[in-house]
Amino acid sequence: MPVLERGLIHVYTGDGKGKTTCALGAALRMAGHGGKVAIVQFLKGWSFYGEIAGLSYLPNVRLEKTGRAEFVDKRAPLLDDFAEAERGLTLAEGFLVSGSFDMVIMDEINVAIDYGLIPARSVVGALRRRQPWVEAILTGRNAPGELIALADVVTEMREIKHPFKKGLASRMGVDF
């Protein structure tokens, strides 16, 4: 039995901290009610994100990471970057339509679209084809207008302060 009768679409965007951690909080909450959650991470091939091992403690949450371990150059993406983003989209669409999940999180998918790795219209198509009870969450800076128009929940994390601006590096356990 699905947890929800009718799933909505969330977009967490903006330049402030908290988009990915907000989506992870939503996963935690859904898992607590016995719901099944699939998370596809885009542009996150690096293996040291705390959520990878952290989520493995939750039996109902499946995480698939895609992307290379290195940063993508927006002006000169590699063929691998396109292939990995497409692989992520195919995975996400499979989870959205399968009927096996209550929530599907596409972490940093907005960035993959912004970098031109996958078209916004393909993401919109995948969302439209989802099972009606699936809550879909999309994160990342520079969310495209098409997704903002389609979404039911749109939150912009706006940077007021970030320690990065003081020259502080990202910290294990907090930023990754």
Using CB under 5 A as the binding rule, whether residue 36 contacts Mg ion is answered as no
Which of residues 133 and 176 has its CB atom nearest to ligand ATP in the complex?
Answer: 176
Which of 12, 13, 19, 39 binds Mg ion (CB under 5 A)? It is 19
Distance CA 134, CA 127 (A): 9
Using CB under 6 A as the binding rule, whether residue 162 contacts ligand ATP is answered as yes
Using CB under 6 A as the binding rule, whether residue 15 contacts ligand ATP is answered as yes
Among candidate residues 163, 156, 160, 153, the one with its CA nearest the CA of residue 140 = 156
2 binds, among ligand ATP, Mg ion, none (CB under 5 to 8 A by kind): none
Contacts (Cβ under 8 Å, ≥6 apart) of 51 = 20, 24, 63
170 binds, among ligand ATP, Mg ion, none (CB under 5 to 8 A by kind): ligand ATP
Which of residues 74 and 162 has its CB atom nearest to ligand ATP in the complex?
Answer: 162
Distance CA 125, CA 160 (A): 34
Dihedral angle, C-alpha 33, 51, 66, 5, nearest 10 °: 10
Contacts to ligand ATP by CB under 6 A = 15-21, 108, 141, 157, 159, 162, 164, 170, 175-176
